[in-house]
Amino acid sequence: MSTVTSSTESPRKKASPAAKRRLTRNVYDDAKPDGTDYVIWDSRLPGFGLRVRPSGAKAFTYVYRQHGKLKRVTIKALTPDDAYEAAKALAANHYGGGDPAAEKQETRQEAEKKNRVPTVGDVLDSFLKNHVDVHLKPKTRSEYARVVAKLLKPHIGDIKIDALETKDVSAMYQTLLKQPRRPRGEKMKAKEGAEAKPAVTQAGGAVRALSSAMSWAEEAGLRPPGSNPARIRLRSPRRRQRLFSDGEVARMADATDAMEKEGKLIPPVALGIRLLFATGCRAGEICGLRWDEVDFEHATLRWPDSKTGYLEKPMTDEARTLLETASRKGRIVGVEWVLPSLLSVSRVTDGPRREQPKHLRVETLEAGFERVMKRAEVVAGENATLHLIRHYFSSKTYTDKSIPLPVAMAIVGHNSVATAMRYAHVSREEVAAAARDAATRRREAIDAAAKKGQVSSIKEDTK
């Protein structure tokens, strides 16, 4: 009696992890996961094999030692024959002194670096760190940082730098224009129910800051040359209308004198207000003026590092009188500032001197000036600040017909004609008077021409 048995064994035997064989398509297909991470090594090339993971994932690999350290390179190939050819190239590189794993990692990192395009926010941060913080003044740096953090990054910060287009900047600008302008101080807040005015100046400043950052990005190779997307048409801000009249200035001068005598205005603040009217300087320049920068011999005031760099201005007779009086009566020995902070002076002089007293803060001078305006019954209104004194001084200088423009610019301290023209305001009375004078001269010219017979009537063509 014979027994017949049927074999259930597959015609293809399962690959053994320990066995070395030529890697073919059949070996690749028969390799099954067994709960471990194993490699089927190819018999033709040491280090070349097929790696099978517990999940069933398969990958060709080439393993070698470099300075005693085991290294592995994963080979991306569609067939075992292609993987074998790639492994031979890796082996040749290795035996030739190369390091295939390190080279592959370096290539991958370079590719990732090229694919990792920074966002506009990343570029703006680099712009602040590498340009603004290095080359610009502290006040300008803080303003750039505010614009970047509050205006630019919230709107376009997530856009890739190479994807930013003019339409994106224009859309941001239109959105910023819709934001209401924030009044300065509680006293200047708009009345309830009044229409809020758009922040035209702030929106334009944000676009200009972005334009500067994009130009820097072009120089850094982050954008193609000439591709600045922030070159858009901006809405012109409303020209400053509020100006001090001569009568208001006279009343404020009297109020300053009276308040100082009454002890309601400390001497440095009173002197600072008078010097602003006498010199037309910026408030920060007057507050930061040192005695060694006051040249009485040559009647000159010098600032080694002002907003526009080195600045030198002539000392008028009024300014000389103010400074000589302050030097003779109010100068504190050992204090370098023309307008010292009395609080810091008292801290130093009352105890052991450890540091130089500080100068008067612009905010302190501003607060004192607001009290002077209130005492002089000058309506603060819009833009009635310390800087309006500079506009008043500049307007008087630029509209003086006896002073040539280059000389007037030197007196005021402007480097460009465009800036000078923004400060060359004229009053309504001056415009009206000039218009009347021009009309009179035109009428006189016409009358004179008529008397000389130079006026002829137009005759009808009879042909």
**264 lies in the same domain as 347:** yes
253 and 360: one domain?
yes
Last-in-domain residue among 115, 132, 157: 115
Q: Please report which helix (H) or strand (E) contains residue 127, including its range.
A: helix 120-127
| 453 falls within a domain | no
Asked if 287 contacts 360 with a C-beta cutoff of 8 angstroms, the reply is yes
Rounded CA gap, 194 and 406, in Å? Answer: 43
287-337 confidence digits (pLDDT tens): 999 999 999 988 889 888 776 667 888 888 999 999 999 988 878 777 889
| pLDDT beneath 70: ranges in the chain | 1-19, 111-115, 181-198, 237-241, 307-309, 344-355, 380-383, 426-429, 453-463
Pairing label, strands 38-42, 48-52: antiparallel
Residue 146's pLDDT is: 94
| DSSP 8-state code for residue 18 | T
Q: Do the domain assignments include residue 457?
A: no
The pLDDT of residue 457: 56
Which residues contact residue 360 at a Cβ distance below 8 angstroms, ignoring those fewer than 6 apart?
268, 269, 272, 287, 337, 339, 340, 341
Q: Is residue 306 within 8 Å of 286, Cβ to Cβ?
A: no
Residue 94 sits in the same domain as residue 149: no
> What pLDDT does 412 receive?
84
Does some domain include residue 328?
yes
User: Is residue 264 located within the same domain as residue 373?
Assistant: yes
Residue finishing a domain among 87, 115, 143: 115
Radius of gyration of the chain (CA): 40
Q: Beta 294-295 vs 300-306: how paired, if at all? A: antiparallel
User: Of 336, 352, 383, which one is at a domain's C-terminal end?
Assistant: 383
Q: Give me 151's structure tokens.
A: 């205006």
Could you give the dihedral angle defined by the CA atoms of residues 423, 145, 366 and 178, in that order, rounded to the nearest 10 degrees? 70
Order across the sheet with 309-314: list the strands. Answer: 294-295, 300-306, 309-314
Global confidence as pTM: 0.57
User: Does any domain span residue 6?
Assistant: no
Token pair for 311: 């600045």
Residues 96, 138 within the same domain: no
Residue 191 located in a structural domain:
no
Look up the domain containing 132 and give its range. 120-185+196-219
Q: Which residue has the tokens 């465009």?
A: 418
401 burial (CB, 10 Å; 0-12 / 13-18 / 19+) is exposed
Let me know if residue 434 belongs to a domain: no
Residues 285 and 357 reside in one and the same domain: yes
List Cα–Cα distances, 250 to 256, 380, 427, in angstroms.
10, 16, 16
For residues 77 and 127, membership in a common domain is answered with no
Shared domain for 378 and 253, answered yes or no, is: yes
pLDDT for 190: 45
CATH (domain of 270): 1.10.443.10
Could you list the beta-strand ranges (E) of 86-155.
none
- C-alpha neighbours within 13 Å on the C-beta side of residue 220: 16
383 alpha carbon, distance to own chain's centre? 24
Mapping DSSP to helix (H, G, I), strand (E, B) and coil, where does residue 451 land? helix
One domain, residues 261 and 344: yes
Count the neighbouring beta carbons within 10 Å of the beta carbon of residue 361.
Answer: 16
Q: Are residues 251 and 352 in the same domain?
A: yes
CA–chain centroid gap for 143, Å, is 7
Cα–Cα separations (whole angstroms), residue 5 to 8, 9, 11, 12, 243: 10, 12, 16, 19, 114
CA angle 394, 398, 403 (to 5 degrees): 125
Residues 365 and 273 in one domain: yes
Residues 64 and 79: their CA atoms lie apart, in Å, by 22
Provide the pLDDT for residue 345.
67
How many other C-beta atoms can be found within 10 angstroms of the C-beta atom of residue 55? Answer: 8
Number of domains in the chain: 3
Q: Please give the Cα distance from 344 to 348 (Å, whole number).
A: 6
Residues 6+ apart with CB under 8 A from 432: none
pLDDT at residue 381, as a whole number: 63
- In this structure, are residues 265 and 256 in contact, taking their beta carbons and an 8 Å threshold? yes
The C-alpha atoms of residue 366 and residue 373 are separated, in whole angstroms, by 11
Q: Are strands 300-306 and 309-314 parallel, antiparallel or unpaired?
A: antiparallel
CB-based contact 158:172 (threshold 8 Å): no
| Residue 204 shares a structural domain with residue 282 | no
Q: Is residue 233 situated within a structural domain?
A: no
The continuous run of DSSP H or E covering 144 comes out as helix 138-147
CA–CA distance, 259 with 143 (Å, rounded to integer): 34
CATH number of the domain where residue 74 is located: 3.30.160.390
34, β-bridge pairs? none
Q: And the tokens for 96?
A: 């030739």
Residue 388, in any domain of the structure: no
pLDDT of residue 4: 33
